[in-house]
Amino acid sequence: MSGLHDLASAAFSLLDSEEAHRLAISGLKAGFGPKDPHVDDPVLATRLAGLDLTNPVGLAAGFDKNAEAANAMLRAGFGFAECGTVTPLPQEGNPKPRLFRLTPDRAVINRLGFNNEGLEVFAGRMASRPRKGVVGANIGANKDTTDRADDYVKGLTRLWGLADYFTVNISSPNTPGLRGLQTRAALEELLGRLREAREGLKADGDFPVFLKVAPDLTDVEIAAITEATIAHGLDALMVGNTTLSRPDSLRSSSRSEAGGLSGAPLMGPSTDILRRFYEAAEGRIPLIGVGGIASGADAYAKIRSGATAVQLYSAMIYEGPGLVVKVKADLAARLKAEGFSAVSEAVGAALR
């Protein structure tokens, strides 16, 4: 069956990037996606902010923007799946073309701009899906909102009880001014309002809330973000999002397109900033490593650099959703070869 999915992935690579993605989501909804027939190796069992995961390899936001295929991706073998980014009101996003494959670099540039069907459609799908496995909601703000913090509060409130966790995305480079929420004063206001909203929602249960940050931060910014996140009671930091930088190594003719770069070239820089967040956090808050993961070796490097769990997306554009099975098998083998009996034992090992 994996050969069939490999063939489908190759065929999709010939299509326009957004069209290929739309067809992939349609196929997954129709039940045509890969299914991992194996029970996860016990060495991969992970506890993240109170969530019990059978493995630490998650699906990053951006693939399933409108909560259409989360359960299909869990069946493919992901330990958790994150839907979104969703904004209160539907929005078209930025003008097309806005998604570019950098095939020689195993990378992607996107300037999508939070295109999604809006909170009500998203909530309806989250409410109707079978509750199997851990599924999170990545929440954002509309481009033309006059109160960004209020948009995040709306997302948290509407989806409370429908998602297993929430990721507050303040790090997309494709919504003008959004990354400004990472500055100290703006972040304090946002996290304060989210904390107040969360306290009011806890009568209906509590759910972890994560903060997703950019990979383009200074040590001073890393320290301030870490302290604010802990002070306001958030449950994990997700490091990081796409980058605005362009490494000199890029070869693709699309390398100068505007937008956020993801994929293989982001592995090194995003792992470096993960280490810096790990050192700043001093074990007070778990980290989720995102950026450039395409193999078990990459996932293991993130864990050794401080990640309790990891997420991938861009590599699937080249390898297909069946990639997660290979990543898990390799990761389990590496953990055992190093004498670890659990993922938790390897977290931050490279810095000890």
- The domain ranges of the chain are 2-351
Report pLDDT for 3: 45
Per-10-residue mean pLDDT for the chain, 352 residues long?
46 70 91 93 98 98 97 97 98 96 97 97 97 96 96 98 97 88 91 98 97 94 96 97 96 97 97 98 98 98 98 94 96 98 98 92
C-alpha 84, offset from chain centre: 9
* pLDDT at residue 234, as a whole number: 98
The pTM of the full predicted model, rounded to 2 decimals, is 0.95
Sign of CA dihedral 230, 225, 78, 327: negative
Catalytic residue, chosen from 17, 172, 305, 314, is 172
Helix 219-231 to helix 267-281 angle, to the nearest 10 degrees? 50
Residue 9: the pLDDT is 53
126 neighbors 117 (Cβ within 8 angstroms): no
How is residue 324 written in tokens? 């997660």
- Supply 229's token pair: 């996140």
- What integer pLDDT is reported at residue 197 of this predicted model? 98
Alpha helices in 97-138 (DSSP H): 119-128
The strands making up 107-110's β-sheet, listed across from edge to edge, are 99-102, 107-110, 260-263
- Residue 172 a catalytic site member: yes
CATH for the stretch 2-351: 3.20.20.70
Looking at residue 342, what DSSP letter applies? Answer: S
